[in-house]
């Protein structure tokens, strides 16, 4: 199977890191949604990443759908998300908040680099959403006494948060002050110290308007 997308995307990166942690072999096709949209289109008409193309040609789109498939593939004992119950919903909530933060951070970046005149109302709204989600994630992480959200082993929530924290720091350094978010900063540093995070990383290279 092969994964489409560049690793400066927090969504592509989280999928690639999960694949590596699961020990699943994959090829990487670092196609850009801007420069390589025509290459992506046959696999994903939305021309979005990540897109994971399976050995039989089936293309999975959206990071949560891809990760759900990977969890099913490796089995319940190895999956990085509980299959049911309160714990599953709690971790899905963290994943959803992290994904939403990533969406807003990407939107705000595109607003800055692709528009000659930024829409102030949209910028303010994105900044408020980013700030509020960071506060909630900081409070949630500060309550966790184990190394990871799932306990002693890493899970999808951990990966998602670490990836979006890195992206937000690089794309909008003025919006992420480590002193304001010590729990999130510590979490990100712990994850970034792991081998898959060190291997699967790419400096931010935003599109040019």
- Please give the radius of gyration of the chain, using alpha carbons only, rounded to the nearest integer: 17
State how many domains the chain has.
Answer: 2
Q: Report if residue 100 sits inside a domain.
A: yes
Among the residues of the chain, which ranges form H helices?
10-22, 37-40, 63-74, 85-114, 120-143, 156-171, 182-192, 195-199
**pLDDT above 70 covers what percent of the chain?**
100
Domain shared by 182 and 110, yes or no: yes
HSE of 26, CA atoms in CB hemisphere, 13 A: 25
Domain boundary (64, 79, 94) is at 79
Domain shared by 159 and 62, yes or no: no
pLDDT digits (tens, 9 = 90+) for 176-209: 999 999 999 999 999 999 999 999 999 998 887 5
Q: Do the beta carbons of residue 175 and residue 127 sit within 8 Å?
A: yes
**Cα–Cα distances in angstroms (integers) from residue 3 to residues 42, 175, 180, in the given order:** 14, 30, 35
Q: Report if residue 25 sits inside a domain.
A: yes
Q: Report if residue 29 sits inside a domain.
A: yes
pLDDT digits (tens, 9 = 90+) for 90-127: 999 999 999 999 999 999 999 998 888 888 999 999 99
Rounded-to-integer distance, Cα 187 and Cα 141, Å: 8
Print the domain residue range for 36.
2-79
Domain shared by 63 and 101, yes or no: no
Domain boundary (42, 59, 79) is at 79
Q: Report if residue 207 sits inside a domain.
A: no
Domain shared by 100 and 60, yes or no: no
Calculate mean pLDDT across residues 67-87. Answer: 94
Neighbours of 173 (CB within 10 A): 9
39 membership: H or E segment, kind and range = helix 37-40
Q: Report if residue 202 sits inside a domain.
A: no
Which CATH number covers residue 91? 1.20.1050.10
Which CATH number covers residue 50? 3.40.30.10
Instruction: Tokens for 44, please give them.
Output: 């994903």
């Amino acid at each position: 199977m092969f994964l489409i997308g560049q690793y400066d995307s927090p969504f592509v990166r989280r999928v690639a890191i999960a694949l590596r942690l699961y020990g699943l072999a994959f090829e990487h096709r670092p196609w850009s949604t801007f420069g390589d949209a025509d290459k992506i289109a046959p696999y994903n008409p939305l021309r979005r990443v990540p897109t994971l193309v399976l050995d039989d040609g089936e293309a999975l789109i959206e990071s949560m759908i891809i990760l759900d498939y990977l969890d099913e593939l490796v089995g319940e004992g190895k999956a990085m998300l509980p299959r049911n119950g309160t714990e599953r919903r709690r971790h899905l909530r963290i994943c959803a908040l992290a994904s939403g933060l990533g969406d807003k951070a990407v939107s705000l970046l595109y607003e800055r680099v692709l528009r000659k005149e930024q829409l102030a109302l949209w910028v303010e709204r994105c900044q408020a959403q980013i700030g509020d989600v960071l506060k909630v994630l900081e409070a949630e992480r500060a309550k966790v006494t184990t190394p990871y959200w799932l306990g002693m082993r890493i899970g999808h929530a951990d990966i998602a948060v670490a990836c979006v924290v890195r992206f937000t720091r690089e794309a909008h350094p003025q919006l992420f002050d480590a002193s304001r978010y010590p729990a999130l900063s510590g979490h990100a540093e712990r994850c970034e110290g792991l081998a898959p995070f060190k291997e699967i990383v790419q400096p931010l290279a935003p599109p040019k308007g």
